[in-house]
Structure 1
Amino acid sequence: MTSLGATVTREGIRFAVWSSAASRLWVSIFDEQGNSEIDRLELQPEGEGVHGLFVAGLAAGTRYGLRADGDYAPEKGLWFDPDKLLVDPYAVEIDRPYVYDIRLSARRGEGTDTAPLLPKAIAATLPQPVPALPPLFQPGGLIYEVPVRAFTMLHPDIPKPQRGTIAALAHPAIVEHLKKLGVGAVELMPVTASIDERHLPPLGLRNAWGYNPVTFMALDPRLAPGGLAELRQTVATMREAGIGVILDLVFNHTGESDRLGPTLSLRGLDSRAYFRHWPDGSLANDTGTGNTVACDHPIVQEMVLDTLRHFVRHAGVDGFRFDLAPILGRVDGVFDAAAPLLMAIRNDPVLSDRVLIAEPWDIGPDGYQLGNFAPPFLEWNDKYRDDIRRFWRGDSGMVGALATRL
């Protein structure tokens, strides 16, 4: 399949997006501030669901979004609405964070253009790939799970403008602290762009951990104001210190939530392909978030693989932790350790040697799959974690449980 997303060349930019059900697709070009739509160009069908267009004269830094039209029947999983600006699933950079607004959930004909409410994708020229090196971390080493923002937000040695960012993790004070602890790898809780769940803003709350993604490749500007280069430099600094970097990635759902959720990207492009639905058209919910990414669909599998390769090639990360990983192995809703996506990750020449860690449960049927992910996947073990913690803090009656877990 042709490359999707915005491909920058010397002559201009090629835009390409996949949808099997849209009747028409457009790319909206915005001004340098990403505020005013200055052009809307229709993409042309190119076969196999790909719609593309080359636009001469555009350069890296161009801000853009997508629009799609087709049948609108949410009860059947069809959400096409050209008034909804959509963020490119292959965006590698966005110009501002996602902010929840109830107008993003308006039904077709009830709302206005959502372009002012959404980030714009930024067409970017990617850096040369990082030299291919074996991952640093080895099974049995110590992993430090890091919420990036909270970890350095109040650290007195970190310059205030840098606190709470990926760059702050590379500060000598942080690196020396991790080395003193004997950390073999840091596992960064989600650093890709996410949106608050709709119940949080009325409570004056925010999603601090980032487990509600929209686009899988674009870093959150709040955590990585320096973009991909910031992550790449931090990974390099950690490697010099002998510490690996593992990204916690969420491929099981998106922040578009349930039928009352916002239309931001995949939902508006082809909901029935990108998300699992029941035969009556309602969204499957094996994640507890309102939707479930259809990881048994070939286009989703390719998007996941492209995302993983992106972070290995262009940031040099040592591996990945997969949130609610049984979703990646569900075929027609049933978990299979030999599912196509899991096998593709194992066999991919760019990914097969990376550290691969499954969170081995979701809330779907037979969702507890601890011990069932085949090598080279490692697994989080909740029973071991919980009993070791209880023994360590001195809870009574834990000696037998400790022996069992060991």
Structure 2
Amino acid sequence: MKKSAILAFGLGWEDLRTYLVTQRKPPVDVDTALDDARPSYSSTLPSLHRERHGWCPYSERVWLALECCDVSYDAYRIDNTGPGRKPGWWSGTTPQVVWPDGRRQGESMDLVREVDERYGGGRLYPPSLGGRVDEMADAFRGTFPSGSRPSSRAAFLFSWTGEPLFRSEFERVLEDTDGLLSKGDGPFLCGDTFTAADVAWAPFLERYAAQLPCLHDGLNPRDESSYPNLAQWYEAMDSVPAYACRVKGNASSWRKVLTMAGYGNAGYVPALVSERMDRLGDEEGRDQTDDEKAGDQRLWDEYRAARPHLARTPAAEAARVLLSNREAILADTLKRSEALEGTGVPLDRDGLDGAMRALAAVLACDGAGGGRHYGELEVAAREAEEVEGVFALARFLDERMCVPRDMGSMSAAAIKRLAAKA
């Protein structure tokens, strides 16, 4: 029998803070739908304005460029969902950057080039490749369907009437992309080097990989037997630390947005598509192998090297996010108490707080290995697994989460694995 969240688990939030929070101050990251104060822009760091949820593929391009060049920057997230709550000082569309000299600039690929010129030293536009990077980046325009909406939620899936495109059109896009990749001598669009061309394509191919298998059975862009070069590109992208650890959205979040009306789709999901979504979701909660966990940790260590404010592991970073946002999460969960009846999630504030602390402890311990206080944390995590509602809460958070809005895909996957135990 599960124990009371209050009596059985005594590790407090301040105790967890010692495991999860470093003394390094994180950069500014403001959700302007919640804090609409006019920014005081930095005179030393660029200030990125990107779409709030992580849905906008054009914002993702600039975000990815900054992250891949290990740039310290401030972020202001704007709600671009039509009638969404925008701050009074905002105008125009995302993405936009205010540079340290005060100049404001838009247009995604112009910004990617500017990031590379200011901070990348040719990392995204290697001089040795000449105009090939621009050529491959521009090939994106002639490959994706011209008669479809470049929607933020479901890009190039639906016509302007809201109807999905034919399967044959999606197959044409995948075959053309695979053919384009076959002309190079490496997994990326310009060979064996990650460049701005991959930045241009990544947001759209990322969404296709998650969403096309929902619309059509057996239509999988990552299928190496049908699209060997494209499958190799996806695998190579998953080895880019900034992309894999933070910017990439996860498959379950991209499936969820298919059920949302507006911005390219009608929000109606046929039963067959819904069944495919459920089946694909069930496959994602399995435990990692030791090799998979070690591979993720290597990427995380490389990503974290330039970001010492992050927690030591992807799972611990999920715990750090819970710690930083605990009041908002408590309020959001309690607001949905009627719908959560019978799910196992504690519906009183103290019980819910205890379950959340327990979940954070389990996540903080997952894969942490060693460290001065690890033995104490390991004991606390074993106790935490017995706390009432801990796995049910993980399931609720997994259902509510939007990646990469709330956290990176690796960290979200740690919560999903715990949700599967509910």
TM-score (norm 1): 0.30
Which is richer in strand? 1
Which is richer in helix? 2
